[in-house]
Amino acid sequence: MATKEEPTFEEQLAQLQQIVNQLEQGNVPLEEALQQFQEGIKLSKELQGKLTNAEKTLGHLIDDDGSEKVYEGSDDDPSNNGGGNRGYGSGDQVKG
* CA–CA distance, 71 with 55 (Å, rounded to integer): 11
pLDDT single digits (tens) 77-90: 544 454 444 444 44
Residue 21 has a pLDDT of 96
Residue by residue, DSSP assigns 67-85 as: -EEE---GGG-TT--STT-
pLDDT single digits (tens) 16-69: 999 999 999 999 999 999 999 999 999 999 999 999 998 888 877 666 666 777
